[in-house]
Structure 1
Amino acid sequence: MRINTGRFKYRKIEVPESARPTTEKVREAVFSMLIGRIKGATVLDLFAGSGSLGLEALSRGAGYCVFNEVNRKNYKILKNNIENCKAEEISSTYNNDFRKALVLANREFDIIFVDPPYREGYYGEVFELIEEYGLLADDGVIVAEHLNDNLLSDKVLCFNRTKHKKYGTIGVDFFERA
């Protein structure tokens, strides 16, 4: 897998065996919908895996990215991918459960990528904690990737779905404050 566009274009990203990376096609579509929001943005890649979403955001001009990956082996690969892109100075990483990572994040984000293991059902809890800890900037967006047969609600707490796109079996939803 490679970074699609920007300053890290064509840099290879190693994908952990146990991870399900966001495909290049879906990443390209997501970032085309984020045009105008990326430059200088503070980004959270909560279930990072290989870090492809956060690294793509940094490559396209995001100012800073916080990565979190709970799996120890995947975390090492994530760190190597960040080093390969020479993005250590514009990022930080956590090797924690998402709940602890959200507590430690302690800042507002312009873009939050939520791409958990699909069948685990973490979406509701993630949205609750984002709201409770005030992690989404007023004009920020949560980008949630899920299986298309596991549709998320149009409204989750104070967040409204503003976009829903389908790519084969994958669904991508954008949520913003009501």
Structure 2
Amino acid sequence: MRIIAGAHKGLTLASVGKGDAGAHLRPTTDRVRESLFNLLINGGYGDPISDARVLDLFAGTGALGLEALSRGAAHVTFVDDGAKSRALIRENIEKCRAMGVTKLFRRDATRLGLNRGAGFNLIFLDPPYGKGLGERALASAFEGGWIADEALIIWEESAEIAVPDDLALLDQRKYGDTKIAILRAD
């Protein structure tokens, strides 16, 4: 795994190999990440990355949030409750020298609680596949004030994504067994 573009282009991130099933780590491949960011930049969404406040739920290795940071995001908050994930995220934050522009929360993404700061305008949601956790995490994020008005939400899943009523589906793509939906908060 590496950073694809931006200030940290080519930087190799800490790897989990083929993933860690016990820790539910299944990193988004470089190819899928590159396609996703190309879609965000060239998909008619304006510039959703520059100066964005990014929330990376079920952050895993932190690769999605760190890619956004490399491409100009202002801040990334990572949320993951797994010990192995948090260790990988901390290592990757250090590799990117991004300690001042990131936060890492040990928290269940389906029970976020109240957000005490400004809402986030770019959200990555990459829950363990097939467990219905994406829907629960989004409900928690909305309830706690984590999602800003008109935020873009990028949701990665293996099954069809059931779009909640308070979100608009802007695009949906399939990369192998990975489905990605780009949604906008109304």
Q: Match of 2:29? A: 23
How many residues are treated as equivalent by the alignment?
175
Distance 1:70 1:30 in 2: 25
Aligned-partner residue type, residue 9 of structure 2: K
Distance 1:46 1:102 in 2: 13
8 Å contact kept, 2:115–2:144 = no
Deviation at 1:33, TM superposition (A): 2.1
Unaligned runs of 5+ in 1: none
What secondary structure is seen at the aligned counterpart in 1 of 2:15?
coil
Give the root-mean-square deviation of aligned CA atoms. Answer: 1.5
8 Å contact kept, 1:127–1:157 = no
Moved more, 86-95 or 125-134: 125-134
What secondary structure is seen at the aligned counterpart in 2 of 1:34?
helix
Distance 1:91 1:102 in 2: 19
State the TM-score, normalized to the length of structure 1: 0.92
Aligned-partner residue type, residue 134 of structure 1: G
8 Å contact kept, 1:94–1:101 = no
Q: Match of 2:44? A: none
Q: Match of 2:175? A: 167
Moved more, 165-174 or 16-25: 16-25
Q: Residues 102 and 20 from structure 1, CA distance in 2 versus in 1: closer, same or farther, beyond 3 angstroms?
A: farther
The answer to whether the aligner puts 1:77 opposite 2:88 as a matched pair is yes
Q: Identity over the aligned pairs, expressed in percent? A: 34
Q: Match of 2:65? A: 54
Deviation at 1:105, TM superposition (A): 6.3
Q: Match of 1:137? A: 148
8 Å contact kept, 2:153–2:185 = no
Aligned-partner residue type, residue 33 of structure 1: L
Q: Which among 138, 152, 160 is matched to residue 161 of structure 2?
A: 152
Stretches (4+) displaced over 4 A = none
Distance 1:78 1:101 in 2: 18
State the TM-score, normalized to the length of structure 2: 0.88
Q: Residues 146 and 102 from structure 1, CA distance in 2 versus in 1: closer, same or farther, beyond 3 angstroms?
A: farther
Q: Match of 1:9? A: 9
